[in-house]
Amino acid sequence: MKRRDFLKKAGAGAAVAAAATAVNAPFVHAKKTIKWKMVTTWPPKLPYLQTGAVRLAKRVEQLSGGRFKIRVYAGGELVPPFGSFDAVSKGTVEAASGAAYYWAGKAPAAQWFAAVPFGLNADGMAAWFWGGDGLKLWEETYAPFNLIPRPAGNTGVQMGGWFNKKIDTIDDYKGLKMRIPGLGGKVVAKAGGTVVLTPGGEIFTNLERGVIDATEWVGPLHDKIMGFYKVAKYYYYPGWHEPGTVLENFFNKQAYEALPKEFQLMLDMACYESYNWMLSGFNADNGAALQDLIFKHKVKMVRFPEKVLAKLRVFADEVLEEVASKDAQAKKVNANYKKFQKQVGTWGQVSEKAYYDLIAKQYPLKG
């Protein structure tokens, strides 16, 4: 009798254990840790750009309770800065952080998702991505490369750049060697300049040695950190070439789609939050850095002459049409972008611009 009772209880226990295993199987699966690698185009520890990628990785790990971990490598640590696109496309790594205009040679339409000369500012780009067709078109553009893009930051309106040559007329661009990427670089080339595209970590040395005569980078915060004021005479504004530059994260398609849906959502939401976090930080820190450059380092700030800006705008319109005419996707993206810019621009005239014009005298550049 005792033997039968023992066997009965043992059988029941085994059944309960089996049932528990079956019920808990999804939970056990969900607890599996996923590990990704993210490469970037940025120098190590560069505020907001590289640190933004690191912050995003930590955010995803927090949201997932430690189940989704992303290790971030600065430009050159795992792959060359401009090797990120191919590395993620091939699946060598799962993710990358950069700027879409770096990939113009692979996908001409990609440039519109970073910055368009005389185009949309940061709020306008956000409106295009999440209130218009921008993100959908970006996904279409990257799809042939096995990539899924996400907006993950914005610098706001950038500065016009650092020059060792005065720009008084449009002819002063002739023969000028300038580090400037994207569509803005094509405008400079049309004006007669020579465009030199180098990673951020090499700009100071190239400017110091005369390899380039001028460079644009980001804004006062990063320009001060990079020390450009030590090797360049003039600090020009406004940043006509990059009025609201978007920073991107992009993911290998197979790696992204293999994630549990909840992890995909965490990744998307972390990118969305990063866009706003980065823009807020740039606006705050650029203001402080600009005052430091003006009053402490005595930087000579110069506004581009109106006639120069007017001519650059003509060249910009020509460049956009030329690039769009040679690539079907770029043509599609350009048409949509122009339509949306007109839509939000009309509103901007009676809202943002009218307000800034009203209070402009409260914020003198000097004294």
Residue-wise pLDDT for 83-124, tens only, equals: 999 999 999 999 999 999 999 999 999 999 999 999 999 999
What does the alpha-carbon distance between residue 247 and residue 241 come to, in Å, rounded to a whole number?
15
Q: What is the pLDDT of residues 126-140, one digit of tens each?
A: 999 999 999 999 999
> What pLDDT score does 224 carry?
96
Number of structural domains in the chain: 1
Residues facing 249 on adjacent strands = 97, 150
Contact of 247 with 181, CB cutoff 8 Å: no
Pairing of strands 95-98, 234-237: unpaired
Residue 171 falls inside a structural domain: no
Q: What is the pLDDT of residues 2-25, one digit of tens each?
A: 444 544 444 444 443 443 343 344
Residue 234 falls inside a structural domain: no
Least confident of 18-22, 35-39, 169-173, 237-241: 18-22
Mean pLDDT of the region 198-222: 93
Residue 116 falls inside a structural domain: yes
Residue 222 falls inside a structural domain: no
What does the alpha-carbon distance between residue 241 and residue 236 come to, in Å, rounded to a whole number?
12
289: pLDDT confidence band, cut at 50, 70 and 90?
very high
Q: What is the pLDDT of residues 291-306, one digit of tens each?
A: 999 999 999 999 999 9
Residue 42 falls inside a structural domain: yes
Residue 358 falls inside a structural domain: no
Q: Which of these, 84, 90, 99, 2, lies nearest to 38 by C-alpha position?
A: 84
Residue 170 falls inside a structural domain: no
Whole-number average pLDDT of the chain = 91
Residues 232/236/240/242 CA torsion (nearest 10 deg): 40
Residue 263 falls inside a structural domain: yes
- Any idea what the CATH number is for the domain that residue 123 is in? 3.40.190.170
What does the alpha-carbon distance between residue 262 and residue 233 come to, in Å, rounded to a whole number?
51
The first and second tokens of residue 23, run together, are 């019920």
Structural domain harbouring 96: 28-153+245-283
